[in-house]
């Protein structure tokens, strides 16, 4: 006989009434039932408490109340894996009667009631008592005077007033004497945050996660999901944000960005931007976002065509933002767009303007330098990189290394090879022990152009030592040896290369030229013939020079 019949005449009326708040919960994955358990209405907005383990891997769920009314689970509100608790949400209606959480602590020995689910009044009720009350991870935790049974998992525990006290937990392994319940206050902890939204155990469930009730927290989750979430889930969250905060322009800005950049539906995006402008007290931010999104589409180079989609309109949106609120961020965005579209003079002007403000930093100077490099103004390009390097003091000298390397490359472009070598040397000093073969090859090229032949030979040897399978470095040394008439050394290194890659025509051609340099034409001929056989374009003409 179930416990309800054993003391039905003694069951407090408030407890009897509370039974209507207990529901059955069924979870599914692709239409196949995963689990069947119990939940309880506890809070506003159609929220229920249940066991998280029921929902792992589920893509849908329903709850069925004692009258047989079926309600789909719309959201996961929050999860706590430590206590195996989950707060879920269905569409709220007037027929839902949530339990009120008890505001007073339970006394040791106080009579409590576990409420089971059943159609009508068929669900069981088990009487128990609190043997001990503890605090675990900021939650009240109860030890109850009743052995745990599997049917008790996630049952609500109420007091004689019908107030929700706790939710039943799995028993500790091997414990056949007691059962345990986590206090109803755990519900306040069950809300996704910026750090967890769309991640971890939330991503293991296919049911949508509810945004936090606080607008700023919800907005943070929206922005975070834009970075890490998939397209479909992000669109759902945008819609949820707009539903929850219909007078906030940020939701419409996010929707416009999604419609423009992801869907390429610029007509819909334009309507969303117009709605955002009507709601926003920060029109500059809307124009700036629109400029960036349109620029993203333009740079993608796909076949989207729309009257609003042009470089001139992108610049116009940047200018509108700057005219309303002359933020440095907006000017920097405009400079980046100008650079991306090859308007280097205009971009340099913007970057230099930024360099005179509080926003000046090494990256701004470096961007200006790249603009000047693109138009061949190497003197200005170097001057900007000088300013970038000067942003660092001696204690942060290593942080200047990327800008020193960039300056070396500008010197190479300006054909000031000795200056480039000086910067390469400084870079090597700062990055000691971390450089690869490519660096030494780059420096060798500058040294070769500066006629610093011994240094070039040293560096190409280091490159070969660091990357002994890269044939290009062997060929480079062979060319260098030919240039400085170190024929024997060149032949030696190219023989090594030939052993590694016997079918590279350049190797055989250079061997032939080096043998010719030594006056050993008989050895040169088979090398050149092999190069010709492998398709070298110059080998035939050199063979003709050799004659018969």
Average pLDDT over residues 154-180: 87
CA 321 to chain centre: 28
Q: Which residues, 6 or more positions from 309, have their beta carbon under 8 angstroms from its beta carbon?
A: 266, 294, 297, 298
Q: Which residues, 6 or more positions from 4, have their beta carbon under 8 angstroms from its beta carbon?
A: 11, 121, 123, 124, 125
- Residue 4 scores a pLDDT above 80: no
Question: What confidence tier does 273 reach under pLDDT thresholds 50, 70, 90?
Answer: very high
- Residue 521 scores a pLDDT above 80: yes
Q: Among 127-131, 290-294, 506-510, which stretch is predicted with the lowest mean pLDDT?
A: 127-131
Average pLDDT value for the chain? 92
- The percent of residues above 90 in pLDDT, for the chain, comes to 76
Average pLDDT over residues 158-179: 86
pLDDT tens readout for residues 204-225:
888 999 999 899 999 999 988 8
Q: Is 34 helix (H, G, I), strand (E, B) or coil?
A: strand
Q: Which residues, 6 or more positions from 384, have their beta carbon under 8 angstroms from its beta carbon?
A: 355, 365, 366, 368, 369, 372
pTM of the model: 0.75
pLDDT for the residue 106: 86
Residue 514 to residue 481: CA distance in whole angstroms: 9
Lay out the sheet containing 22-29: strands in order across: 70-72, 60-64, 22-29, 32-41, 47-51, 85-89, 75-80
- The percent of residues above 70 in pLDDT, for the chain, comes to 97
Q: Among 13-17, 176-180, 463-467, which stretch is predicted with the lowest mean pLDDT?
A: 176-180
- Residue 6 scores a pLDDT above 60: no
- Residue 100 scores a pLDDT above 50: yes
Average pLDDT over residues 457-477: 97
Average pLDDT over residues 12-34: 95
How many Cα neighbours within 13 Å face the side chain of 542?
A: 24
pLDDT for the residue 244: 92
pLDDT for the residue 1: 33
Architecture of domain 3-189: Beta Barrel (2.40)
Question: What confidence tier does 226 reach under pLDDT thresholds 50, 70, 90?
Answer: confident
pLDDT tens readout for residues 252-268:
999 999 999 999 999 99
pLDDT for the residue 117: 93
pLDDT tens readout for residues 326-360:
999 999 999 999 999 999 999 999 999 999 998 88
- Residue 174 scores a pLDDT above 80: no
Cβ(543)–Cβ(536) under 8 Å?
Answer: no
pLDDT for the residue 336: 97
Cβ(185)–Cβ(144) under 8 Å?
Answer: no
For residue 424, give the H/E element and its range.
helix 417-430
Residues of the chain with CATH 1.25.40.10: 211-326
Average pLDDT over residues 52-72: 94
Residue 125 to residue 8: CA distance in whole angstroms: 9
Question: What confidence tier does 548 reach under pLDDT thresholds 50, 70, 90?
Answer: low
- Residue 64 scores a pLDDT above 90: yes
- Residue 2 scores a pLDDT above 60: no
Class (C level, CATH) for 211-326: mainly alpha
pLDDT for the residue 123: 87
Question: What confidence tier does 228 reach under pLDDT thresholds 50, 70, 90?
Answer: low
- Residue 175 scores a pLDDT above 70: yes
Cβ(60)–Cβ(72) under 8 Å?
Answer: yes
pLDDT for the residue 450: 97
- Residue 176 scores a pLDDT above 90: no
pLDDT tens readout for residues 531-540:
999 999 999 9
- Residue 3 scores a pLDDT above 50: no
Residue 502 to residue 487: CA distance in whole angstroms: 20
Residues of the chain with CATH 2.40.10.120: 3-189
SS (H, E, C) 341-366: CCCHHHHHHHHHHHHCCCCCCHHHHH
- Residue 95 scores a pLDDT above 80: yes
pLDDT tens readout for residues 137-166:
888 889 898 888 888 989 999 999 999 999
């Amino acid at each position: 006989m179930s416990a309800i019949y054993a003391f039905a005449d003694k069951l407090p009326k408030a407890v009897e009434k509370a039974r209507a708040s207990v529901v059955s919960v069924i979870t599914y994955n692709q239409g196949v039932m995963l689990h069947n358990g119990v939940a309880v209405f506890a809070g506003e907005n159609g929220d229920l408490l249940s066991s998280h383990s029921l929902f792992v891997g589920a893509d849908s769920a329903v709850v069925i109340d004692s009258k047989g009314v079926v309600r789909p689970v719309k959201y996961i509100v929050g999860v706590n894996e430590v206590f195996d608790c989950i707060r879920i949400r269905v569409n709220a209606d007037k027929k839902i009667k949530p339990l009120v959480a008890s505001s007073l602590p339970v006394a040791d020995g106080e009579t409590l009631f576990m409420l089971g689910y059943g159609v009508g009044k068929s669900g069981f009720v088990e009487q128990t008592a609190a043997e001990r009350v503890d605090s675990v991870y900021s939650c009240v935790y109860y030890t109850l005077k009743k052995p745990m049974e599997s049917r008790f998992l996630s049952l609500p525990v109420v007091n004689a007033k019908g107030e929700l006290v706790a939710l039943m937990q799995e028993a500790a392994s091997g414990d056949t004497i007691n059962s345990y319940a986590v206090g109803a206050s755990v519900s306040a902890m069950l809300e996704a945050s910026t750090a967890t939204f769309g991640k971890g155990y939330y991503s293991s469930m296919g049911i949508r996660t509810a945004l936090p009730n606080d607008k700023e927290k919800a907005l943070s989750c929206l922005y975070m999901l834009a970075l890490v979430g998939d397209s479909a889930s992000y669109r759902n969250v945008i819609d949820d944000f707009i539903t929850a905060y219909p007078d906030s322009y940020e939701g419409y800005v996010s929707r416009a960005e999604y419609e423009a950049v992801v869907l390429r539906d610029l007509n819909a995006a334009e309507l969303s931007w117009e709605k955002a402008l009507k709601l926003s007290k920060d029109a500059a931010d809307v124009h700036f976002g629109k400029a960036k999104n349109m620029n993203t589409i333009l740079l993608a180079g796909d076949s989207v065509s729309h009257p609003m989609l042009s470089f001139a309109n992108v610049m116009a949106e940047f200018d509108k933002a700057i005219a309303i609120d002359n933020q440095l961020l907006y000017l920097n965005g405009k400079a980046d767009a100008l650079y991306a579209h090859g308007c280097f003079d205009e971009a340099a002007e913007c970057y230099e303007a930024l360099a005179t403000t509080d926003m000046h930093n090494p990256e701004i100077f470096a961007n200006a330098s790249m603009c000047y490099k693109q138009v061949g103004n190497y003197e200005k390009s170097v001057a900007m990189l000088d300013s970038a390097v000067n942003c660092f003091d001696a204690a942060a000298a290593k942080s200047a290394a990327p800008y020193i390397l960039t300056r070396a490359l500008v010197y190479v472009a300006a054909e000031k090879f000795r200056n480039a070598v000086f910067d390469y040397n400084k870079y090597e000093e700062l990055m000691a022990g971390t450089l690869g073969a490519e660096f030494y090859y780059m420096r060798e090229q500058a040294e070769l152009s500066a006629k610093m032949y011994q240094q070039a030979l040293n560096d190409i040897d280091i490159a070969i030592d660091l990357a002994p399978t890269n044939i290009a470095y062997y060929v480079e040394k062979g060319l260098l040896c030919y240039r400085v008439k170190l024929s024997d050394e060149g032949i030696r290194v190219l023989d090594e290369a030939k052993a590694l890659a016997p079918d590279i025509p350049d190797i055989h051609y250079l061997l032939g030229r080096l043998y010719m340099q030594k006056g050993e034409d008989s050895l040169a001929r088979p090398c050149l013939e092999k190069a010709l056989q492998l398709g070298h374009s110059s080998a035939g003409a050199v063979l003709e020079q050799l004659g018969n």
